[in-house]
Amino acid sequence: MALAEIIAVIFGLLSVYLVTRQNVWCYPLGIVSVFIYIFIFREVKLYADMGLQLFFIVLQAYGWYEWLYGGKGHTVLNVSWAPRTVYGVTTFFVIVATALLGFVLHKLTDASLPYVDSFLAVLSMAAQWMMAKKYIENWILWIVVNIGSIGMYGFKGLYFTMFLFAVYFGLAIFGYVEWKKSLTSAPGGNSVEVLPATAEPS
């Protein structure tokens, strides 16, 4: 399992770094990483995280499409601030979904840390969706997720993954700064264009 975890960490780090650079190759690399983590989390009984990886695969595919064709006239999608309505909907979703998922895992499974795991899983769903829409606030959610995940994975003895989320924490701060630069420097507050699918990762 240690080897699989190392491979997942490497692909995960590459994926998140490419997100900070708005490089669409973040998505295929991310899909590989989350696929491996399905088996890792099943082994350590973090079932909310295991299910989250399946959801991530769908959102990674959605984000891949959105980044390439989600802009006006099916052009590349630019960074923007989320509409205010997104804040309320996201908060409601996180609270309700955490309570429901945590209750189900606590009552029906032998899940470890069911409510903590559920909260981080649900918040990650919201952050991943916001990333797919290129809302800059996704990085704020990821910062919270990363802090919580460092503690949870350290408690479960997944030290490579703990290290991964420590690096993710730094990358989330870097990503917020970089996306905000592109948001404010481009005409009309739009971001620079994402690299096309045929571009080489950098």
The CA-based dihedral angle spanning residues 200, 16, 66, 74, taken in that order and rounded to the nearest 10 degrees? -40
Q: For the chain, what percent of residues have pLDDT higher than 70? A: 91
Residue 186 confidence (pLDDT): 55
Quick check: 115 pLDDT over 90? yes
Cα separations (Å) of 65 from 34, 102, 121, 131, 151? Answer: 18, 31, 23, 12, 33
Quick check: 200 pLDDT over 50? no
CA distance 130 to 143: 13
- For 8-32, how does the pLDDT look when each residue is reduced to its tens digit (9 = 90+)? 889 988 999 999 999 999 999 999 9
Lowest mean pLDDT among 162-166, 187-191, 195-199: 195-199
- For 56-108, how does the pLDDT look when each residue is reduced to its tens digit (9 = 90+)? 899 999 999 999 998 888 888 899 999 999 999 999 999 999 999 999 989 98
Please state the length of the chain.
202
Residue 1 confidence (pLDDT): 60
Q: How far apart are the first and last CA of the chain?
A: 29
Quick check: 193 pLDDT over 90? no
Lowest mean pLDDT among 3-7, 43-47, 188-192: 188-192
Residue 93 confidence (pLDDT): 96
